[in-house]
Amino acid sequence: MKVIRSIDNMKQTVRDYQNEKKQIGFVPTMGFLHAGHLQLMKEAKKENDVVVASIFVNPLQFGPNEDFEKYPRDEQKDSLLAENVGVDVLFIPTADEMYPNPMLIQMALKERVDVLCGRSRPGHFDGVLTVVTKLFHIIHPDKAYFGLKDAQQVAVIDALIRDLNFPIELVGLPTIREVDGLAKSSRNVNLTEQERKEATWIYQGLQTGQQLIRNGEQNPTKIINGVTKTLEQKVSGKIDYVELLSYPSLEPVTSINQQVILATAVYFKQARLIDNLLLDENGKIITRYN
């Protein structure tokens, strides 16, 4: 596995792959890799000739009071893990390499961002749009892989690719979970022992809502209240939101007659955790988005 740190070097490597007519799968990450990332890399390896993964904790998508500084990092372990699942190139640029000058270009999204995480993280998705656009131009993948744990991010990238005609196929893959159901996340290491125990109820809360839908409940408010009640009873962290929206348009629904997302975010002391279920109109989990 090659580790590349400069944009010029990365672009040259991509040109070489293109000259060899190799199809490129791309997995952008912020590092501190877990089974969720590795699943994306494995799937990319299956579906493409070469896999490029990136590790970049993007300052542009963190708010001033967010956890940019304490976002966990372990480049050495990440390299081993990525190499083990067959990643061909690991692109690890510095912030100076990615943003040598203050950005003049600003990217924003009109819809899909004032809900869920976008509401409590103003500017977050503008930063995501910018860095993903830059990475897409540098790596020029045929397919790009994102985890559905960040389902709003997938919806945002979906709009980016469609609106701007990127010649890239978006693939969203399902959330990988711990044995007790907690969604794998790089931020889980920032939970206390007690919080870690409670955190399993985030998934169980969402499942309560799913069960209501499977039992025929059509009223979004009742489904949301079912989830909220479970969380309030079982979790000491502050609930940021519980929302039920159409997917990927992320608009309010009046009944469950389409693909929907049931999502929540909970603030613990040192970590804000998110989780969601992407469901079809029968309440069945959707396992691949593209």
| Closest to a second copy by CB, 9 or 200 | 9
Q: Is 236 annotated as a binding-site member?
A: no
Question: Is residue 21 involved in binding a second copy (CB under 8 A)?
Answer: yes
Could you report how far apart the first and last alpha carbons of the chain are, in Å? Answer: 28
Residues in the chain: 290
Quick one: which of 114, 163, 180, 251 contacts a second copy (CB under 8 A)? 163
Q: Is 209 annotated as a binding-site member?
A: no
Residue 193: which residues within 8 A CB-CB, separation 6 or more? Answer: none
| Closest to a second copy by CB, 110 or 282 | 110
Q: Tokens 């348009």 belong to which residue?
A: 249
Question: Is residue 165 involved in binding a second copy (CB under 8 A)?
Answer: yes
Quick one: which of 106, 233, 254, 282 contacts a second copy (CB under 8 A)? 106
Question: Is residue 54 involved in binding a second copy (CB under 8 A)?
Answer: no
CA distance 162 to 165: 5
Q: Just list the catalytic residues.
A: 37
DSSP β-ladder status, 260-267 and 272-279: antiparallel
Q: Which stretch binds a second copy (CB under 8 A): 108-116, 225-233, 235-243, 256-264?
A: 108-116
Q: Is the dihedral of CA 9, 13, 14, 16 positive or negative?
A: positive
Q: Is 39 annotated as a binding-site member?
A: no
Beta-carbon count within 10 A of 269 CB: 12
Q: 171 with 146: CB under 8 angstroms?
A: yes
Question: Is residue 103 involved in binding a second copy (CB under 8 A)?
Answer: yes
Return the SS3 of 158.
helix
Query: Tokens standing for 226?
Result: 């079912």
| Closest to a second copy by CB, 80 or 108 | 108
| Closest to a second copy by CB, 16 or 232 | 16
Q: Is 118 annotated as a binding-site member?
A: no
Quick one: which of 37, 42, 112, 143 contacts a second copy (CB under 8 A)? 112
Question: How far apart, in Å, are the Cα atoms of 61 and each of 19, 58, 107, 125, 153?
Answer: 34, 6, 12, 7, 11
Q: Helix 151-163 and helix 124-139: axis angle, to 10°?
A: 60
| Closest to a second copy by CB, 164 or 285 | 164
Q: Which stretch binds a second copy (CB under 8 A): 13-21, 26-34, 35-43, 77-85?
A: 13-21
- The annotated binding site for ATP is made up of 30-37, 147-150, 176, 184-187
Q: Which residues bind a second copy (CB under 8 A)?
A: 7, 11, 18-19, 21, 103-112, 129-130, 133-134, 137-138, 140, 159-160, 163-167
Known binding-site residue numbers for beta-alanine:
61
